[in-house]
A and B are shown apart, each in its own frame.
Chain A
Amino acid sequence: MISATMILQLLINGILRGSIYALAAIGMTVIFGVMNIINFAHGALMMLAMYITYWLFTLLGVDPYLSLVISVPTLFILGGFIEKYLIHKSLDEPEINQFLITAGIMIFIENAMLFLFSPDVKATSVSYKGAAISIGNVIIGLNPLAAGLIAAAITAGLYFFNKKTDLGRALRAVAANKEAARLMGINLNYIYFVAFGIGSACVGAAGTIISPMYYIFPQAGDLFLLLAFVIVILGGQGHVVGAFFGGLIIGVVESLCILVIPGSTKDAVVFAVFILVLLFKPLGLFGKRRQ
């Protein structure tokens, strides 16, 4: 029985879930936009942040939302160093090498976690797990709501960083035209370091804010990795706000699919949407043609 309340409920669920996807994808779109590489280690970095949050909570009792102040800078530095010492070496090589080096990093990180912490599923058992408020007949979980708000805040912050600060302008300049940016005196190595750092920090934030809701295991990031590709393309390469709305769209599509088709077939729908967007709007829904 499909009722208006049910659809509203699914819409809200979809938007909240989509905002988390969006946060993971924003990190990727920054990296893709500036460096023009697809980062396969993205999901693994997200999973690292989930483990950092989990251990901070379990060993020291740090609240998952509070641990953002630790996980985000950690991931920024880690991401920056991964770029500087590993990925940077492959930037002049064919695209297939960049694909494989990030995939190699993903395999390494995931299996290092598997070795250290076993494949057992972990969960942060916060006291407010599953808490919810209800407005009319619609129930909104507090954790998804907080995650959605934090994701929106980070997107807004990144948007203004990109538009208003010198470093943000430099990032956009490199994204638009590397050679011209270099001739204007922008240090490409530094910009790549920062771009990869920001990308990793964003996905780290995503990993941290979902850890009160999702199970934590070494492959936890894989689901988000493929969704992040979809959203990045949907939003347009390097387009932060585009990625945010792309994430919301994917979240809602996934959520509403439950009404029509059963079970995990929704993943196939998401990927089919992806291929259709690639074919008909390869620059994304919000992307602009670039030189």
Chain B
Amino acid sequence: MNRTNFSRTFLSVVLLALFLVAPFFVGPYFLHILIMTFLFAYLARSWDLIGGYAGQLFLGPVAMFGIGAYTSTLLGVHFGLSPWIGMLAGGVMGTIVGVLLCYVSFRFGLKGIYFGLVTLTFPEICRVIVLNLDAFGGVNGILIPFKERSPLGALLYMQFAGKIAYYYMSFLMMLLSLYVIHRIQKLKSGYYYLALRENEEAAEAVGVDTLKYKLMVTGIGSFFLAVGGTFHAQYLMMVNPETFFGMDFTLEVIIRSIVGGVGTVFGPVIGSFILTPLSDISRAILGGYQGVHLMLFGAIIVAIIIFLPKGVGEWLGRGYRFLEARFGGKMPVSVKEDKDDFAESK
């Protein structure tokens, strides 16, 4: 193990240990912020698989998120099914809908902005349907009934008393999403997804079945987005059309990925770690002045796209490598990377 690897492993272990013990040292409010940070990191990571890594202009992550949430909730309310099964069912539903939506669009040759518009409008259709069907709870949504007080029942029905269990669950989900992209990058299909982003025509010309790989990547991304929906529904103990099918949510997810660095492994996670606490804390501080914290949010989006169009992740990575080279002794590999980055940015 050389020293670069050592310092990176050391940093990861320290971070992991910090996050594992964190819930015993922070209050419920900060625990909530951390849970939302992990959840958004997970969702942005899942969206980034489709929208960043494979480069499809997929503007409807909230549709899969809502479908996951409503599937598990409806199964739970009507058939008393455990949300764990509902989560899986929701994931499968999300995959089916995502793959169908993309199959139809890609089959008819919709790309770029046109594909973006289809995926942007689709959650609106879902929202209007849910809003108007009493079976889906209409405007008020559905409250998830409280089932059990025993620890076993809590586990079975994913209804934990405190926030700590949700904390670990969301933390695991975030790690899972990172593991998934880590695996995908090594697979042959991972290279095909990259080819979709870099040059679809060229990929097609060398015989890549682009439709198949587009469907695969949307299917995987949709599954994880839908699972995130079930988690959020269980955390809030309710579903409603505005939260689970609203366009705001789509923006919230995508912006995290852009802020951190779209199409990179850690970008979406870094984006969530910057934006989620920022938006929660600014809401707490500026909440008395209606609209100000969202004005700030809008201004941050605009500023980041103008000044850091590639995201902060790249910038942080460069800083980290600089520190490593500065304090870690001789690092021929990382210094070389540093130079490459510099040449690229020129």
Contacts and interface: CB of A to CB of B under 8 A. Distances in A.
Contacts of A38: 113, 116-117
Interface stretch (B225-233, B287-295, B325-333): B287-295
Given A101-B301, A108-B299, A114-B291, A274 B57 contact: no
A264 B294 CA distance: 28
B140 interface: no
A23 interface: no
Contacts, number: 138
Contacts of B160: none
B49 to A, nearest CB: 14
A218 B294 CA distance: 13
Contacts of B118: 275, 278
B125 interface: yes
A280 B292 CA distance: 43
B13 interface: no
Interface stretch (A4-12, A89-97, A139-147, A191-199): A89-97
B110 A265 contact: no
A100 B301 contact: yes
Interface in A113-162: 113-115, 118-119
Given A96-B51, A280-B108, A229 B117 contact: yes
A94 B262 contact: yes
B27 interface: no
A86 interface: yes
Contact of B295 (A103, A111, A229, A263): A111
A224 to B, nearest CB: 14
Contacts of A233: 114, 117
A36 B111 CA distance: 13
B309 A118 contact: no
A263 B132 contact: yes
**For the side of the interface on A, what is the size category?**
35 or more
A99 B289 CA distance: 28
Contact of A96 (B57, B114, B297, B306): B57
Nearest to B133: A265
A115 B291 contact: yes
A272 B114 contact: no
B251 interface: yes
Nearest to B251: A103
A118 to B, nearest CB: 7
A100 B120 CA distance: 13
B213 interface: no
A99 B250 CA distance: 12
A90 B289 contact: no
A96 B125 contact: no
A279 B309 contact: no
Contact of B294 (A111, A118, A263, A268): A111
Contacts of A226: 121, 124
A66 interface: no
B291 A112 contact: yes
B209 to A, nearest CB: 21
B162 interface: no
Given A100-B251, A265-B129, A275-B122, 11 more contacts: A89-B309, A90-B305, A94-B262, A107-B298, A110-B294, A113-B291, A115-B289, A118-B290, A233-B117, A265-B132, A271-B124
Closest 3 CB pairs of A and B: A104-B301, A108-B298, A114-B291
Interface of A: 36-38, 86, 89-90, 93-97, 99-101, 103-115, 118-119, 218, 226, 229-230, 233, 262-265, 267-268, 271-272, 274-275, 278-280, 282
Interface of B: 51, 55, 57, 59, 104-105, 108-110, 112-114, 116-118, 120-122, 124-125, 128-129, 131-132, 251, 254-255, 258, 262, 289-292, 294-295, 297-302, 305-306, 309
